Amino acid sequence: MNTLSRRGFIAASAATLSAAAVPSLLLPVRPARADGHKVITAGKRVIEVKGKTANVFGLHQADGTSGLVMNAGENFRVRLKNLIGEPTAIHWHGLTPPWQQDGVAGISQEPIPDDGSHDYDFPVARPGTFWMHSHFGLQEQLMLAAPLIVRDPDEAGQDVQEVVVLFHDFTFRDPQEILAELKAGGHDMSAMAPAPAPAASGHEGHNMPSMAMGSGQTSHGTMDHGAMGGMQMGGGQMAGPAGAMSHLQDVQYDALLANDRTLDDPEVFTVEPGGRVRLRLINGAASTNMWLDLGQLQGKLIAVDGMPVEPVEGQRFEFAVAQRLDIMLELPKQAAAWPILAVQEGGRMRTGVVLAAKGAAVGKLADMADEDFPAVGVELEQKLRATRPLGNKTATRQHTMMLGEGAGYVWTLDGAMHGQDKPLAVASGDRFELTFMNHTTMSHPMHLHGHHFQVVAVNGRRIAGAMRDTVLVPANMGMVTIAFDADNAGNWALHCHHLYHMAGGMMTSMAYAD
């Protein structure tokens, strides 16, 4: 996989520049200071995937640590150094900094030039499982991402082992070529599935039916995003947005990775039989929703997107792009090995890590599941309940945002591509209720910068749901309503976190002053 040229990155990033941004307010690139900032370097590296080498990016400290671990109550005092050979901007996903330090090219700061650096310094109050990733062009597909873990000092000393896993979808192809192919109508049509069924009772994901059509192996077809009355797949037809079918994947991947590795050589974490393990799991994929599969283990989901929820027990959990899952495990007392797997929706491709007692045999793990996994939907979302919800307050502003698509791989919010969009009208102090209504045949992981929101309705049914920063909106007229308080003034991005949908226009912003 080749790195992109400077011209390629700039061209790819054009779709992510905000028409609403005020250039004079963008944070300029500040020279590095010698005052104790932790240095994180955006750099080039080489990994091996299925016996082949690949040139990718990464975010590492001088000692090789990927990303950053800190404590709540500390300042995020980081010097970001750019050595990737191209401009970049890094977003601190899940944190709520002053808007000029949010790391979005064209909205909150100018890109950092190659061999340049930029200092960040702001307080971090909330603990949680967060992450950092490029918000410039298509660099995120090239793995310019890393964990950002904020620990709770009150939990120090607990007898719990932490295991952090960052998942990626990996391709040897140039991401810019992929985007060009998508715009020309080329799609991986391998995974078509019925829209997920409404939430059922019982633990999440038990006895999941195989809902996907096809094995998840790669194939190619064409799709005209303007032909909304129906879509061709071979000799059959897939229903449009009002029908029952979903288009799950539009990018062909060579592998899924867990901490940069495939199941040919997974990372093995040594654990104590009978011990407690906290999994901090990050879906850093560019476009792949996944299922988190604990295999023989039963886990308790205790937080999503870094925000605590009432525990949900299960073995399989829906895991959309950019979301995070914190799962607490009580390991069996026998000395054994337990795989923790992530499987693509609508297919069988998988990756993972292994928890193993000292001396336990770790068997060979296939990189394909035994059966197709269904579409990721909102079954889990409807079960989640925040332990620290928003305070009681009547909404002062409401808006329904239409998610749409058009010919030429155009993805829109309220009928407009980014760059032609009208920013969301917000006023400081608002309790804003925003309803996403999905008129497309794909789901969309919608991410709001600078705020945490509560999911308050799914498909029209009111719930006191989870606090999040990224929520999946189901395909085919799916609806999700979120509520947030406008308490962090600035210019903030709002977008689909499917990288190619965002590059295709599915992004807007909201700006308000104190």
353 φ/ψ angles, rounded to the nearest 5 degrees:
-125, 175
In a domain, 17, yes or no: no
In a domain, 6, yes or no: no
Residue ranges in 245-349 assigned as alpha helix (H): none
Distance CA 268, CA 261 (A): 11
In a domain, 160, yes or no: no
Question: Order of strands, edge to edge, in the sheet holding 276-283?
Answer: 255-258, 161-170, 276-283, 324-330, 299-304, 307-314
Both 485 and 439 in one domain: the answer is yes
In a domain, 214, yes or no: no
Both 357 and 284 in one domain: the answer is yes
- Angle between helix 175-183 and helix 6-13 axes, rounded to 10 deg: 40
- pTM for this one? 0.86
Distance CA 105, CA 17 (A): 7
**Is residue 19 a contact partner of residue 101, using CB atoms and an 8 Å limit?**
no
Instruction: State pLDDT tens for residues 153-194.
Output: 999 889 999 999 999 999 999 999 999 999 998 654 334 445
Instruction: State pLDDT tens for residues 383-423.
Output: 999 999 999 999 999 999 999 999 999 999 999 999 999 99
Full DSSP string of 355-375: EEETT-------SB-SS----
Q: CATH number of the domain that 266 lies in?
A: 2.60.40.420
Q: Which two tokens stand for residue 233?
A: 């797949």
Per-block mean pLDDT, blocks of 10 residues, the chain (514 long): 37 36 41 70 98 97 97 98 98 98 95 98 97 98 98 93 98 97 70 44 34 30 32 30 67 97 98 98 98 97 98 98 98 97 97 97 95 96 98 97 96 97 95 98 97 98 98 97 98 98 97 94
Please count the structural domains in the chain: 3
Q: For the CA atoms of 191, 192, 197, 202, what is the dihedral angle to 10 degrees? A: -20
Answer with the one of 151, 170, 192 that is the final residue of a domain: 151
Both 327 and 443 in one domain: the answer is no
Give the range of the structural domain holding residue 442, as residue numbers without chain letter.
384-512
Both 94 and 53 in one domain: the answer is yes
Both 317 and 401 in one domain: the answer is no
